[in-house]
Amino acid sequence: MKRPALTALAIPFLLLIISALTPLSASASAGASQNVRFLLHNGSTRSVTVNAKYAPLATNLTYHGGAVEAGTTHTYAIFWQPTNNVSSTYHSLIQRYFGDIGGSGLYNNNKQYKNSSGQYPSTTTFAAAWTDTRSYPESPLLDSDIQNEVSHAQSVNGWSSSVNNIFFVFTQAGEDLCFDSSQSQCASNAFCAYHSYFGSNTIYAAMPYAYSFSCNGGTGPNGDQAADETINVTSHEQIEAATDPLLNAWYDSSGAEIGDKCAWNFGNSSGSNITLNGHPYRLQKEWDNAKRGCVLTGP
């Protein structure tokens, strides 16, 4: 994404966001200056900085010198759900997905996106899951609350930060999440999910309950629409983080990451479009520089 100048923050902080508006539903980035870019369902882009617009997403990704999640990435699921207000198979299906995606053709597509040493994201493994039933400190939640939850989960479970560790925070049904206290960019009015980092290398993704916030990409194949919708946006964030964990690695001339360029592009109208480890999923495609297009399996 196009990187706005950082102001008034001691720690670099940018967000890559999937927009949840209807018809707006794809990707955005927000920094200290609150610059936001929305990708529409039809594949066009609308980048907004006080209504300014940027060019369409037409070019390949280019490398900007930053880290990638080289080698094996370890994925952690944090289910922050005080009243367990989620669908009955929500946890199990998300965890199944995390166990299935590593070594798949879709994740294999990341191998063309290398760091300065020629290393690339080769696979991912599901490291652990933890359910937190502590009450939310406020509603809507703020991004600072998500960061604090990651730190809390690390403290409780002995998990550590690394460019190769990513922490997904899943909240429960109906719980809104906003970028900041102005509540201008929230799950209820702007995005479906986002990934970012804090400190030097704590990589995380904020995952509101997609089914509550108009993030429907078509009927999923697992009999749990809430889980299927969240898994779709989870895949988007996971693969973007693999190729751009610190937001300074792989993106195109308009600032779009590997998933932004293919957001809400499934290749069919409904049902399963990919099988991972024998299990059906409905996942958005990812950008393939070699093919200059969106794919469900890599080169």
Phi, psi of 234 (to 5 degrees): -60, -45
The whole-chain average pLDDT of the chain stands at: 84
- The pTM (predicted TM-score) of the whole model is 0.86
- What confidence tier does 299 reach under pLDDT thresholds 50, 70, 90? confident
Q: Tell which residue, 98, 188, 171, 186, has the closest CA to residue 137.
A: 171
For 16-39, what is each residue's pLDDT tens digit? 554 433 323 333 333 333 222 332
For 128-138, what is each residue's pLDDT tens digit? 999 999 999 99
- What confidence tier does 283 reach under pLDDT thresholds 50, 70, 90? very high
What's the confidence (pLDDT) of residue 17?
A: 52
Residue 121 has pLDDT above 60, yes or no: yes
What are the structural domains, with CATH classification, of the chain? Answer: 64-251+269-295 (3.40.390)
Q: Tell which residue, 17, 16, 28, 42, has the closest CA to residue 262.
A: 42
What's the confidence (pLDDT) of residue 140?
A: 98
What's the confidence (pLDDT) of residue 38?
A: 31
Residue 111 has pLDDT above 70, yes or no: yes
- The number of residues making up the chain comes to 299
Residue 48 has pLDDT above 80, yes or no: no
The percent of residues above 70 in pLDDT, for the chain, comes to: 81
Q: Tell which residue, 122, 128, 123, 98, has the closest CA to residue 279.
A: 98
**Phi-psi region for residue 259, left (φ > 0), alpha (ψ -120 to 50) or beta?**
alpha
Rounded-to-integer distance, Cα 172 and Cα 136, Å: 10
What's the confidence (pLDDT) of residue 32?
A: 33
